[in-house]
Amino acid sequence: MTTVAHDASRGGTSLRDSFRSLGHRLRISPAAYETAQKPLMFVSFAMIVFVGLIPLFAGPGDTLLAQQALYLGLLALSLNLLVNTTGLISFGHAMFWALGGYMVASSYKFSIPIFGNPLFALAMTPIMGLVAGFVIGLIVFRGRELYFSLLTLGVAQLVWAVAHGWQSLTGGTNGANGVFAAEWINAFLHPDRLYWFIFGCVLVCTAMLYVITNSPFGDALRGIRDNSRRAEFAGLWVKRYELTAFMIAAMFGAIAGGLSVIGDTQINSGLVDWTLSTRALIVVLLGGVRFFLGPFAGAFFYLYVFNEVIQRTAMWDTVLGVVVLVVALFLQGGLAGLIQWLCALGVTIRDRLTGRQVEEPVAPMSAAAGQAVHLPDIAAAAAGDGDGKVQWADRALVLDVKNLTKSFGGLVAVNDVSFHVREGAIHAIIGPNGAGKTTLFNLITGLIKPDTGEVVLEGEDVTGAAPWRLVKRGMGRSFQQTNLFWELSSLGNVTLAESAVKDATRKLWGSHPEEITNRAKALLDRVGLGSFRSITARELSHGDQRSLEMATALAVESHFLLLDEPTAGISPAETRDAVELIRKIAHEENLTVLFVEHDMEVVFGIADYITVLHYGAVLAEGTPAEIRANPDVQKAYLGEITEEEVAG
Amino acid sequence: MTLGYSFSDYVVQIIAGLGTGSVLFLVSAGLTLVFGALRVINFAHGSLTMIGAYVTVSLAGWLGFGNAIFWIVLLLAALVVAAGGLFMEVAFFRPIYRRPLLTQLLVTFAFVLIIAGVIRKVYGARTRTTDVPPFLQGGIDVLDGAIPKYQFFFMAMAVVVAVALWAMLYRTGLGRTIRAAVSDPVLLGLSGVNVRVLFTTVFVIAAFFAGLAGALTTLQGSVGPGLAVDTIIRAFVVVVIGGLGSLSGAFIAAFLVGIAEALGILWVPSASLAIVFAVLVLVLAVRPQGIMGHKA
Amino acid sequence: MSTVDGGQPAVLEVQGLNAYYGKSQVIFGLDLQVCSGEAVAVLGRNGAGKTTALMAIAGVVSNHSSALRLAGEDISHLPSFKRVRRGLSLVPSGSRAFPNLSVNENLELVRGGTNGGAQWTTVDAYRTFPKLAELRGNSAGTLSGGERQMLAVARAMLAGPKLLMLDEPSEGLAPMVVKGIAERLHSMRGEGIGILLTEQNHRLELEVADRVYFIEKGQVVWQGNAAEASDPAVIGRYLAV
C-alpha cells in the first residue's frame, strides 16, 4: 500500500503510471497461491459436476463434443502420468488408444456370444493395455531421453502402419464404421445414457489415476523425474518403476480408445495416426502440464474452441498452431495455470479489500549466514588429530577394495587400487586433481564397472552391482554437486528416500506409512532443518541443501556413507557446520564414512584414516599424522612427483 | 507375397527406389545437419519442403516450366523457403535452444500446424500438379520397362547436392565452424566465433535444401496438403537410421529406405510402410546411434 | 585506464566477482588485477574456485560483479565470443581441442579481433611450435595431451589477445613440455601481453609469475609477489596437506 501512496504523491497521471500502480496493488504473492489451493479445488469439483450435467441442458451436438472431450481427456490424462509425473515424453501414445479401440471394434466383426459383446471387449481393454505396455515398454526403454521419445514414435508408426495396411483385420482406412449401432441399442435406449456411461467410466478411471498419482508410487515417479540418479541412490530400480508407469499409462490409454469406439461408433487408421499422438500432447500442454485435471481442461477447450474455429475459417490449424506456440513459449501453466492465477488474484483482491495481511513465507536463511567469515586454523585441526588409541585392526571390515583398475580409452584412471575401510572409521581419500578419486567412487558405488578387481561390501562381493542394490545393502552416497529431488519439499525428499529403500513405494494408493514420515521428520530435525520441512529443495540455501542431502543419505538407513566432496561449493562459514554435522552424526549412529575431499582443514579435522591417490594409484595410507609427515605426499601435492615414480 | 516378377521388373523398381531415395536424401540432409549442430529436432522441416513444392506450383503456373525457366523456378523456390527459415529461426527457434525437449517439440510442431493452415487457405485442399519441363519428359527404356527421366534427374541432383554439401563441410571455413559446433559449441565461442549467427546460417542452409527438395517433388506427380507430415515422418526415419547428425549416414539410409519401400510395394503392398517402421524400430533398439552416428 | 604500482596499465580488473556453477555459488566476492606485460598466477587447491573464476571472466558461466574491465573497457555484458574479439583469450583446462578437425583446421578456425593485441598468424604458430607443423594434417583427436595443449595455446595466441588466461596449463603434462610452455609465456610477457594462469601446484607458476594470488573457497586469501610466494611456510599453508 505504501508503494501506491508513493506513486500517488508524485502525481503521476500518465496511463503507464496508473497501470503500474495497479500492477503493484495486484501483485500476487506466493502466499496467495498457497491460499488459492482451496478455491481451486472447489472450482475443480464444480467443473466435474458441471460436465456430468451437460446432457441436461446442452443439445445433442454439444453433448457429443463433451463426450469426445471425455475420452480424449482420458488419453491425455494417461499420457500426463508419463510426461508430468515421470518425466517421460512419449511421441506415440495414440498406439494404445488404437489397440484398445480396435479391440472393441473387432468384437463386432466376430459376433461370438460374450466375446462379441462390446462391453466385454471394453472390460478387456485394460488387460490389452497392460500387456501391450509391457511388450512395447521393453522396446522403447532401450533408449534414454530423446531416443526413448523417438522409439515411441517409431513403434507408434509401426502400429499405425499395420492398422493401415492389414485390411482384413482392421479395415484399414475404411475401418469399421457404424456397424455397432444396431447390436446394442437395446442396452442404451437413449443417447444420453451413453454419455453418462462414458462419463462414469472416465470418472472411475480418473479417480484411479488420481489415487495412483498421489500414492508413494507416484512420489517415487516424481523423484525419478526430478533426478533419476538420486532415485537410483535412494534404492529405486528406476527402469522397473518407469516400465510400470508406462504400463499404467498404456492401460488407461487403451480404455480411452475403447470408449471412443463405443461413443463414436467408428474407427479407422486415419483416426489413430501420429496426429492423435501430437493432439494428446497439445491437449496436455493447453490444459497445463503440472495440474492433475489439466488434460481435461485442455481437451474440452480444444474440442469446443476448435469446433467453433473450424466453422469460421479454413485456417483453423494455423489458429491452433499459434495458440500452441503462445502457450508453449509464454503460458507454461496452461489453462489450469490461468485458473489458478485467477483464484490467487481473487484471494489477493479479497485480502486487499478486507485489509487482511498475507503472511509471506520467510526466505530460509542458512543457519550459518551472518557469521563472520574466518579461516579455519590448521593448528587447531592438528590438535584434534586422531587419538591413536583406537585399535582399528580389531574392527570389522566394511569395505574391501581389491586391485581395482579402470581405463577409459588409453587413459588409466584407476590403477590397481586396493584398500579397506573399517567399521566406525571416518576414512578420507585425498589426492591432487586428476588422481582418480571420483572414478574410484563411481566404481565402488556401482555407477561404472571396473576392468579388473573386486569390491567387497561386508564380506559380500558386490563388484559391478547396480546402485540401488548397494543402497539396499546399506550403502549411501552423496554427490559432488548437490543431488536432490528439486521439486519436492525437504520432508518429501527424506520421506521418499526412506520409503524407497524399504520398498514402501510399491504401494499404488494411500500415503507413506506413519513411521516413515515420523522418522523423516526426526532426521530433518537432527540435521537442523526441522523448521524447513515444507520448503522446496530448490529454494534452500546451498549449505542447507547439503544438510538435506546428508539427511537423505541417512534416511536410506545406510550404515556406510560415501560422501563425494561434501564441502564443495559451500562458503567458509557453512563449511564448519557441515564438518561438525558429519562428525556428530557419524559418531552418534556409529556410521562408517568414506569421503573424498580437497579441503585439508576438513580432512584433518575429522578423518581417522587417510588414503592418498595420485595418478590413479595408491600413493600412501595411514593416520593423519603419518600422512602429514610423509614426504612423498607433500611432493605429490606440490607437483614434484611423476606418474612413473608413483607406479614404481 | 506375389513373386511373379521378372528380373526386369526388379531392376525398374529398384531404380525407382533410388529415385525416391534421392529426394528423401535432399530432405533429410538439412534435417540431420540441424540436429548435429543445433541439437534440435525440427518437426517443421517437412512443412518447409511443402512450402517449396507449393511455391513451385505457383511459379510454374506464372512463369511456365520451360527448360531454362525450370532452373530459375527451382532456385527461387529454394530461396523463398530459405528466407522463411531465416525468419523462423531468428524469431522463434533461438529462445528454445535451451528449453526442454517437450517445448522444442511443441514449438516446432506448432509451425507444422501454422504452415498447413496457410497453405490450405492459399491453395485449397485439392492436390495440385505441374507440368514436367520438356527436357525431362518421357522415359528411358531399361530392359523391358521404362523409367521416367526425372528419376535420373533426382539421382543426379542428389549426387550433386551431396558433393556440394561435403565440399562445404570439409573444404570451406563455414564448414569447419559447423563441424566444430557439432563437437564443442562452448569452445567455439571461446575461439571468437559468433555461434548464434552460425546456428542461423545452418538453419537457413537446411531450409534452402528442403525447399529445393520440395520443388523437385512436383515432378513426381501431385502435391497435396498431406505432404508435410508424410515427408517429415519419412525424413525422420532416414535421419535416425543414418545417425542423427551424420550427412553420410543420411545419404546411405535414404537410399536404403527408398529401395526398401520400392521392394515392399512389389512384394507386400499393404505392408510396405510397416516394413520401413519395423526397420526403424530395430535399428533404434539395437544400435540407437544409427548406422554412422556417434554414441552420445 | 587505471594503473597499478609500477605504472603499467591494467589489462584486467575484476572487482567483487560472484560466480555460480550450476546452483552452487563458488566465487564469493573475488578481486584481482593483471597489468600488461605482467604474469599473474592464481593458486589454490582443487575446489577452491580457480576454473570457475576464469570461466566467469571469459563469460562462460553465470556471474555478476561490481566491475569487470578489459583494458579499461567494461566487458561484463558481452557474450564470450565478443570478449575474445576484444582481446581476452582463455585456454580452458583439459587441453581441449576439436577432435574431429585437423590441427590446421583447429588453428584456422580462430577468429580474433584487430584490437591492438599481438597479431599472430598460423605461420607464426607453426614456427613457434614446430611439432604442430609436423602434425598439421592429423586429426586433433589423435594428438597426445602435450601436443593438444600446445595446440590450445597456439589457438589462444591466434586470437591476438591482450590478456591470455590459462587454466591449469601444466596438468597432465611432462616436465619438458611444461618447460616449453613456460618459455612461451615468458616471451609473451615481453610482447606486452598480460597473463593470468591458475595452477594447483607451484611448478609452472614460480618460473613465470610476477605476482601470485592464493584463493580458497572462492575468495582471495593471500597475495604477494613471486618471491614471497616461494616461502615454504606460505606454500605449506595454502597448497600442501
Q: What is the ipTM of this complex?
A: 0.88
Question: What is the value of pTM for the model shown?
Answer: 0.82
Task: Compute the mean pLDDT over every residue in chain A, rounded to the nearest whole number.
Answer: 80
Look up residue B283 and give its amino acid: V
Pairing state between β A475-478 and B145-148: unpaired
Residue with the bigger pLDDT between A256 and A186: it is A256
Backbone angles phi, psi at A291, to 5 degrees: -110, 140
* Average pLDDT value for residue range A35-43: 81
pLDDT confidence bin for A536, thresholds 50/70/90: confident
Say if A320 is an interface residue toward chain B (CB within 8 Å): yes
Q: What is the pLDDT of residue C47?
A: 65
Least confident of A364-368, A562-566, B171-175: A364-368
| Residue A621 · residue A611 · CB < 8 Å | yes
- Nearest C-alpha neighbor of A222 from the set A87, A33, A77: A87
CA distance B90 to B83: 11
Q: Is the pLDDT of residue A130 over 90?
A: yes
On chain B, the residues whose CB falls within 8 A of the CB of A145 are 101
Which pLDDT value is given to residue C14? 92
Question: What is the chain C residue with the closest CA to A539?
Answer: C23
Strands C67-70 and C73-74, sheet pairing: antiparallel
Q: What is the DSSP string of A65-92?
A: HHHHHHHHHHHHHHHHIIIIII----S-
pLDDT digits (tens, 9 = 90+) for B93-125: 988 887 888 888 899 999 999 999 999 888 887
Determine the distance in angstroms separating the CA of C7 from the nearest CA of chain A, rounded to an integer: 33
pLDDT bin (cut points 50, 70, 90) of residue C222 is confident
Of residues A554 and C201, the one with the higher pLDDT is A554
C-alpha cell at A339: 485458473
Separation of alpha carbons C29 and C40, rounded Å: 19
Q: What is the pLDDT of residue B235?
A: 92
Average pLDDT over residues A96-116: 74
Residues of A with CB below 8 A from B112's CB?
321
| Closest alpha carbon within chain A to C145 | A411
Q: Are A165 and A172 in contact (CB under 8 A)?
A: yes
- Reported as a pLDDT band with limits 50, 70 and 90, residue A300 is very high
In angstroms, the CA C101 to CA B172 distance is: 12
Structure confidence at residue A21 as a pLDDT band (50, 70, 90):
low
Look at residue C98 and give its three-state secondary structure.
coil
Q: Does C23 contact A at CB distance below 8 Å?
A: yes
pLDDT at C190: 84
Residue A644: pLDDT above 50? no
Tell if the CB–CB gap between B111 and A321 is shorter than 8 Å.
yes
Cell of A142: 532401450
Separation of alpha carbons A40 and C7, rounded Å: 68
The three three-digit cell numbers of residue B204, written as one number: 537457413
**pLDDT(B44) > 80:** yes
In chain C, what percentage of residues exceed pLDDT 70? 86
Task: Enumerate residues 6+ apart whose C-beta is below 8 A from A431.
Answer: A437, A612, A613, A614, A619, A636
Question: Which subunits count as partners of chain C given 3+ CB pairs below 8 Å?
Answer: A, B
Residue A572 forms contact with C (CB below 8 Å): yes
Residue of C nearest to A635 (CA): C240
* pLDDT tens per residue, range C146-160: 888 889 988 988 888
Instruction: Measure the N-to-C terminal CA separation of chain A; round to a whole number of Å.
Output: 75
Q: How confident is the model over B177-193, as pLDDT tens digits?
A: 999 998 888 899 899 89
| Distance in Å, alpha carbon of B87 to nearest chain A alpha carbon | 15
Q: Is the pLDDT of residue A204 over 70?
A: yes
Alpha carbon separation from C21 to A365, A563, B185, C24, C51 (Å, rounded): 21, 19, 18, 5, 10
Residues 59-118 in B contacting A (C-alpha not used; CB under 8 Å): 92, 95-96, 101-103, 105-107, 109-118
Rounded to 5°, angle at Cα C218 from C212 and C223: 20
Contact B212, B26 (CB under 8 A): yes
Query: What is the predicted pLDDT for the residue at A569?
Result: 60
- Rounded Cα distance between C51 and C33, Å, is 16
Which cell numbers in the block locate residue C82?
Answer: 565478443
CA atoms within 13 A on the CB side of C134: 6
**CB nearest to A147's CB, from B114, B277, B284:** B284
Nearest CA to CA, how far is C26 from chain B (Å)? 20
Residues contacting A189, CB < 8 A, separation 6+: none
Q: Which H, E and C letters describe B65-97, residue by residue?
A: CCHHHHHHHHHHHHHHHHHHHHHHHHHHHHHHC
How far from the centroid of its chain's Cα atoms is residue A410's Cα? 37
pLDDT at A437: 84
Across the range A251-279, mean pLDDT stands at 88
Name all contacts of A206-211 with Cβ < 8 Å and 24+ positions apart.
A206/A74, A206/A77, A206/A293, A206/A296, A208/A252, A209/A77, A209/A78, A209/A81, A209/A248, A209/A252, A210/A292, A211/A508, A211/A509, A211/A510
pLDDT band, very low/low/confident/very high, at C240 (cuts 50, 70, 90): low
Please count the residue pairs, one from chain A and one from chain C, whose beta carbons lie less than 8 angstroms apart.
78
Amino acid A379: pLDDT: 31
Per-residue pLDDT at A24: 58
CB contact under 8 A, B184 and C58: no
Separation in Å, CA of C240 to nearest CA in chain B: 32
Q: Taking residues C167-187, report their average pLDDT.
A: 80
- pLDDT for B232 beyond 80: yes
Taking an 8 Å cut-off on Cβ atoms, the answer to whether A434 and C171 are in contact is: yes
What percentage of chain A carries pLDDT values higher than 70? 80
Of C98, C100, C110, the CB nearest to B192: C110
C-alpha distances out from residue C109 to A448, A560, C98, C112, Å: 36, 51, 10, 10
Long-range CB pairs of A117-122 (<8 Å, 24+ gap) are: A117/A184, A118/A180, A118/A183, A118/A184, A118/A261, A118/A262, A119/A184, A119/A187, A121/A258, A122/A201, A122/A255, A122/A258, A122/A259, A122/A262
Most confident of A17-26, A50-59, A235-244, C46-55: A235-244
Neighbours of C165 (CB within 10 A): 26
Collect all residues with Cβ–Cβ distance below 8 Å to A576 and sequence separation of at least 6. Answer: A368, A376
Interatomic CA distance for residues B274 and B290, integer angstroms: 19
CB contact under 8 A, A572 and C217: yes
Residue A447 has pLDDT above 50, yes or no: yes
Could you tell me the pLDDT band of residue A98, with boundaries at 50, 70 and 90?
very high
Per-residue pLDDT, averaged over B154-180, amounts to: 93
Question: So what's the pLDDT on residue C191?
Answer: 83
* Contact across the interface for A571 and C25, Cβ inside 8 Å: yes
Of the pLDDT bands very low, low, confident and very high (cuts 50, 70, 90), residue A368 is: very low
For residue B39, count other CB atoms closer than 10 A to its CB: 16
Q: Looking at the complex, does the CB of residue C200 fall below 8 Å from at least one CB of chain A?
A: yes
The minimum CA-CA distance between A526 and chain C, rounded to whole Å, is 23
Contact assignment for B193 to C96 by CB distance below 8 Å? no
pLDDT of the residue at A367: 40
Tell me the average pLDDT across A119-139. 91
Percent of chain A with pLDDT strictly greater than 90? 25
Are the C-beta atoms of A339 and A40 separated by less than 8 Å?
A: yes
Q: Is the distance from CB of A321 to CB of B113 less than 8 angstroms? A: yes
| Any B CB within 8 A of C109 CB | yes
B229 and A317: CB-CB below 8 Å?
Answer: no
Mean pLDDT along residues C183-204: 82
Instruction: Inform me whether the C-beta atom of residue A329 falls under 8 Å from chain B C-beta atoms.
Output: yes
Length of chain B: 296
Average pLDDT over residues B255-274: 83
Mutate to test the interface with B, among C60, C61, C109 (most CBs of B within 10 A): C109
How far is residue A272's CA from residue C154's CA, in Å, rounded to a whole number? 58
pLDDT digits (tens, 9 = 90+) for C52-108: 899 999 988 888 888 899 988 899 889 888 999 888 999 998 888 998 899 999 999
Inter-chain touch B111–A325, beta carbons under 8 Å? yes
- Which of C89, C100, C110 minimises the CB distance to B179? C100
Could you give the CA distance from residue C74 to residue C68 in angstroms, rounded to a whole number?
A: 6
CB A261 within 8 A of CB A267: yes
The per-residue pLDDT for range A189-198, each reduced to its tens digit, is 455 678 888 9
Q: Which of residues 198-257 of B touch A (CB under 8 A)?
A: 229, 233, 236-237, 240
pLDDT at A434: 63
A542 touches chain C (CB under 8 A): yes
